[in-house]
Structure 1
Amino acid sequence: MPKGNWREFAEFAQNNNFLENPSIQNKTDRTVRVQRTRGGKAGKTVTVIKGLDLTVSEAKMLLKQLKTICGTGGTLKEGIMELQGDQVKTSMEFLAKEGFSPRQSGG
């Protein structure tokens, strides 16, 4: 096999249009809801974040940053982030800095 004629990734540099997916919404156009709730959590307060519409890996990275900033635990269940405790104000400020437009729902 001759050397120097390998062109496996040559077309990648020319055809990277798949990276620009027009179906993906802009962060500011998404309806992100931050809610404080206690229902079904044995009386413990939990902050729920819905509507981020991120991939699983992006959501995990964002959740890790939120947990670090808030100093609490949290989980990702079916696209919904849950943070332990009342972290509404802190999470809204962080999401706004990340480019989202969060809204508080509930009381």
Structure 2
Amino acid sequence: MMSDTNSRLVYSTASGFVPEPTAKAASASPFPDDGIVRLRRENKGRKGAGVITIHGIPSERQKELASLLKKKCGTGGAIKEGIIEIQGEKRDLIQAELIKAGFTVKLAGG
């Protein structure tokens, strides 16, 4: 029998139907949960308008920090699926504010 990575056993004559393996819950963030806050510049799917996405902020502090960063940058933003988005190219200012707030910050992506 040839092994195919794209197939799976559904029924066996020995034991009947084989239950599907449980899949791990997919995280919204592409980064590991290691306590480091990552800033990433993105414009894909936003009609060319750049935003800074902030990954790794604990959920209990996201609303507070998003509000603070929007005020400091003078721009809009949102929290989507545990990721803070701040409009515009303000990575240096955001990095300085997060360091002031006590986070370890790493610039990721472009």
TM superposition score normalised by structure 2: 0.67
Percent identical across equivalent pairs?
40
2:92 corresponds to which residue?
Answer: 89
Query: What is the DSSP-based 3-state SS (H/G/I as helix, E as strand, rest coil) of the residue aligned with 2:45?
Result: coil
Once residues 33 and 61 of structure 1 are traced to their aligned partners in structure 2, the CA distance between those partners, rounded to angstroms, is 17
Structure 1 residue 78 displacement after superposition = 1.1
2:50 is equivalent to residue 45 of structure 1:
yes
2:70 is equivalent to residue 67 of structure 1:
yes
- State the superposition RMSD in angstroms: 1.1
Once residues 93 and 82 of structure 2 are traced to their aligned partners in structure 1, the CA distance between those partners, rounded to angstroms, is 20
Structure 1 residue 49 displacement after superposition = 0.3
Structure of higher RCO (CA pairs closer than 8 Å, 6+ residues apart): 1
TM superposition score normalised by structure 1: 0.68
2:99 is equivalent to residue 105 of structure 1:
no
Once residues 54 and 101 of structure 1 are traced to their aligned partners in structure 2, the CA distance between those partners, rounded to angstroms, is 16
Once residues 71 and 83 of structure 1 are traced to their aligned partners in structure 2, the CA distance between those partners, rounded to angstroms, is 10
Which protein has the bigger strand share? 2
Structure 1 residue 42 displacement after superposition = 1.1
Which structure has the greater CA radius of gyration? 2
2:41 is equivalent to residue 30 of structure 1:
no
User: Of 71, 79, 84, which aligns to 2:82?
Assistant: 79
Deviation beyond 3 Å, 4+ runs, structure 1: none
Query: What is the DSSP-based 3-state SS (H/G/I as helix, E as strand, rest coil) of the residue aligned with 1:95?
Result: helix
Once residues 42 and 53 of structure 1 are traced to their aligned partners in structure 2, the CA distance between those partners, rounded to angstroms, is 29
Unaligned runs of 5+ in 2: 1-33
Unaligned runs of 5+ in 1: 1-28
